[in-house]
Structure 1
Amino acid sequence: MKKLDLKDPTGIQPNPISWLLLHKDRYKIDETYQRAPGIWTKSMEQYLIDTILRGFPIPLIVVHERGRKEYIVDGQQRIYTIKRFHNCEFELSQKYSKDIISEAGGSTYSTISKEYQRRFDSYPLPILTLRDYNDEEIRSTFRRLQSGKTLTPGEKLNAFPGEIVHAMRELGSHKFFHDIIDMGVQRYKNYKLAATFLMLEENGMTSISPEYIFEFFDDNVDLDSGSATYRKVRRVMNYLTKTLKSRTGELGTQAWVMSAYLLTSYLLDYYVMKGRHADLRTFLIDFFSKVENAEVSGIVELIKFKQAISRGTNNEETINFRHEIIARRFLKKFNPPRLDEDRLFANKERLAIFRRDGGECGMCHKKLVYGKATTHYHHTTPYSVGGRTSTENGVLLCKACHLGKVHKEGKL
């Protein structure tokens, strides 16, 4: 039986705040685990400084030593707050520190007495340094440290193990989240949406509550950026980004973002959407306006859609209900051609094309062998614009011409 790779307990090294300030460039933010600084409210910052000045203990600051650098795993907001107070960027609170303000003779670092400055500077910060930890172990540590805290779904997902987390992060950096939707990326909202898209593309229409997404991540740790699921999500976001072009106020809630995403995903799977970006943009903005004014128009279907989208319910039934309405209305308005669902040529069609073309590549006229992997069959009118999978719409090509001249150079 293989022996477990257990860790030796790590000792805590207390260092005074003055030491931290002197070595302020030593600790780096690892955005893999840590949120951007400045998330805390002013009240939270004031409460921490009051705790320090009174000499009460504060939670551990955990750092990960990698080479000559140390990255903060837990404690970024505390360190940021300490630096801000030392730089006189906020004052003590009358609510928490009225007695200290009175005794110290001020409410900022520069105005409190020398005695209180010394108390602040000499306060021992409990710093725990992790050495010889790999990425999986650091993420596990982060999850354990945060297990009793209130984290957003995106923050929790970011600490999961596996390739799927890297895929989520790559998708989370897409322009769609940063420049198109109007939700922001604070506390990894973008990661949660990216994770939801992955789950829906992999599992189909389903409930999207955090518990379902967590279970999906546990079951799909090896899903990576080379997977068909990842590529599909990226394709949909690319299409929506090209469609909407800039920040779109209509996509300001998760429910609206999900409705737009699912509509686009469905259309790309089953209909010819090449060159229809303007149609989709017009439809989404117009449909949003109609839903917002549903009570004025009195259209029952739109009123029900508005009720469903306002509740923002994550269950499968409600998501399906919204999707069916929005998809039906788009198809009725624009009636795009349906893609040929039998995309691949059947064996009898391949043989017919091979015999008809005399076993020669339609471009370089190289003699080909039926059944070999280097013998390819291509849609003359592309599948993506509604080309049918038929003998009449097929042409025989060698692999080099098919993948090179046709797909890369667009020649035929």
Structure 2
Amino acid sequence: MISRSLRRPLAAVSILALLAGCQATPNTELRGTGDLGVVVERATGSLAVVDTSEHRVLERVEGLGDLSHASVKFSRDARYAFVFGRDGGLTRVDLLTGEITHRVMQSGNSIGGAVSQDGSLVAVANYEPGGVKIFDSETLEEVAEIPATYRDEDGREQRSKVVGLVDAPGNRFVYSLFEAGEIHLIDMHGDTPEVTRFTDVGEEPYDALIGPSGRYYVAGLFGEDGLALLDLWHPEAGVQRILPDYGRGEERLPVYKMPHLEGWAMAGNEAWLPAVGRHEVLIADTDDWSLVDRIAVHGQPIFVMRRPDERQVWVNFAHPDNDVVQVIDTERREIVATLEPGEAVLHMEFTPKGEQVWISARDSDRVVVYDTRTLEEVARLDSESPSGIFFTDRAHRIGL
């Protein structure tokens, strides 16, 4: 039997040994992932891992290929970033070590992806060849391929570009087919994918979003005014057209960059959306999806994003008005600030509770951080051609 006098030294030695075994590698600080994020540096094919409280770059991960339209999703534990490159590359990056753990070239041209509700699957939307591929999130081994096929006017089978891919509750994925004018729903709950097709949803769906609750999937239509809505609680009801003819009688302006619906703003029972080819933000009543108001803005809106408390909506714009960001008070429906973060503003990202917003200015090679209460600049980070900014709280939000 070990005497009481010997127990404390042995316990101390054991704890020290345990701590020594748990020490981080020389290149890794012991930290949580909830305060981290990434900035896509498109010109260099790299990813800057950032600390959102300290406003600094922790690591730069290189060798990620063509990031000209890259997007990022996060694993369930928020440790890994899945990077979807335009060249078809899918890469898993460890945010704590700054290392690439897995990388596959899964298509010729891709446009984003999603992580399933349980975190086990990663789906990628492909332009070439048109379709969706699904991978195991731990190994990036391919689990399924679903071609985006449709029949053209002559009855010939074609493959469509896939856009607007999002995750939905029940280990489902939803996406739109640009040329086909369809929305597809994939159920991955069982051993094999079950695909439900919704046809004739509208002309040229170009992007889509899913509401914070995961109930409504809304696809924007480039070929016509309006949007297509699928109620995932009642998919048997089919797709409903909403906000039809919101531009009736008006001349549409040339579209220099397609709006993005991913960052749509939900404020109370209202949805705030970018109008295609118009200098307007649209406001819809989410009870009946009727158009209730329009707000004239600086240019053609690209992202219309709400602050997490829903009191503000921040808007950036297409070329040639892309050096400006406007802030709208959602209660008064008025523009309260026009900011100039730099040239070619591409993306905005709020910190999880919304006290700050990070904005990328590609042609100024910087990321600018603003206090959302005072609207004053609080930090500036050097970054080579930054585009998308993504924080790890997205790991626990539907559709992001």
TM-score, structure 2 as length reference: 0.23
Higher share in strand: 2
Larger Rg: 1
TM-score, structure 1 as length reference: 0.23
Higher share in helix: 1
